[in-house]
Amino acid sequence: MTQHSPKSPQFFLTSPSPCPYLEGQYERKVFTHLVGEKAGEMNDLLTQGGFRRSQNIAYRPACETCRACVSVRILVDGFAPSKNMRRILRVNDDLVGTEHKAEPTSEQYSLFRRYLDARHKEGGMSEMTVLDYAMMVEDTHVPTAVIEYRKRGPDSFVTGRGEGPLVAVALSDRMSDGYSMVYSFYDPDMPERSLGTWMILDHISRARARGLPHVYLGYWVEGSRKMEYKTRFRPQEHLTSAGWELYKG
């Protein structure tokens, strides 16, 4: 078995493959393994440097002819919700999010499958089995939480937990300077709730409550309709060749 030192990680480069965001482009990624006692610290440093995590792998684009993927993080202290976001907060005021250990459940997978079949039937994750889902959640060596969202119940004020069926789920890394949203999914039959937007707003609230300055949203690609929503959360910073800079677009 190959051993990877957390103090001197080895980096590898993938072969070119079709870009899922820009037609006609090919993507390559540089990646390393996140293992060992220092995996959490390494994940912090790499995420702050533009990497994303998938299971025990940290990766970032290394495309030869394109630099369209831009790392995005929300500045929590300066954030104020827009009029539409305030409406979304009101609509979902009956929901409660509870942080759990990174452990998969059959209820999560059932919701995950409904979400994929409704929203990403042709995507690269569409064939994921229950075992694939379990690996996505629990194959982590960094501080990771599964946040389950359910409707507020009579005892929620006391227990801090929601009740009833699962409405949405977020898989998120807890970092020294914020939350990094790894993946999220939700009930596709509740479009009026705008649950994807609401989960980001909830992460901003969680980061603010912990005194953490950032929420990392992953990559934004200008011109990709899939990515447009990310620039709605302002102020935010984009990682450039000169470092993190305030986005003014």
> Would you list the domain boundaries of the chain?
12-68, 82-217
Q: Does residue 58 carry a pLDDT above 90? A: yes
The pLDDT of residue 2: 44
Q: Does residue 1 carry a pLDDT above 50? A: no
pLDDT interval class at 53 (50, 70, 90): very high
What is the Cα–Cα distance from 111 to 117, expressed in whole angstroms? 10
Mean pLDDT of 83-91: 98
pTM recorded for the entire structure:
0.93
Percent of the chain at pLDDT > 70 equals 97
The pLDDT of residue 131: 97
Q: Which letter, b or e, does each residue of 10-48 get, where b requires 16 or more Cβ atoms within 10 Å of its Cβ?
A: eeeeeeeeebebbeebebebebbbbbbebbbebbbebbb
What distances in angstroms separate CA 237 from CA 47, 240, 241, 246, one per listed residue? 13, 9, 13, 4
* CB 32, CB 10: distance < 8 Å: yes
The pLDDT of residue 156: 84
pLDDT interval class at 249 (50, 70, 90): confident
Single out the residue of 131, 216, 224, 146 nearest to residue 176, CA to CA. 216
Q: Does residue 236 carry a pLDDT above 80? A: yes
The pLDDT of residue 7: 60
Q: Are strands 57-61 and 69-75 parallel, antiparallel or unpaired?
A: unpaired
The pLDDT of residue 122: 73
Q: For residue 228, what are its two tokens?
A: 């447009």
Instruction: Return the CATH fold of 82-217.
Output: Aminopeptidase (3.40.630)
Helices (H) and strands (E) in the chain, counts: 6, 14
Q: What are the tens digits of pLDDT across the range 169-216?
A: 999 999 999 999 999 999 999 999 999 999 999 999 999 999 999 999
What is the Cα–Cα distance from 164 to 171, expressed in whole angstroms? 20
Q: Does residue 4 carry a pLDDT above 60? A: no
The pLDDT of residue 161: 86
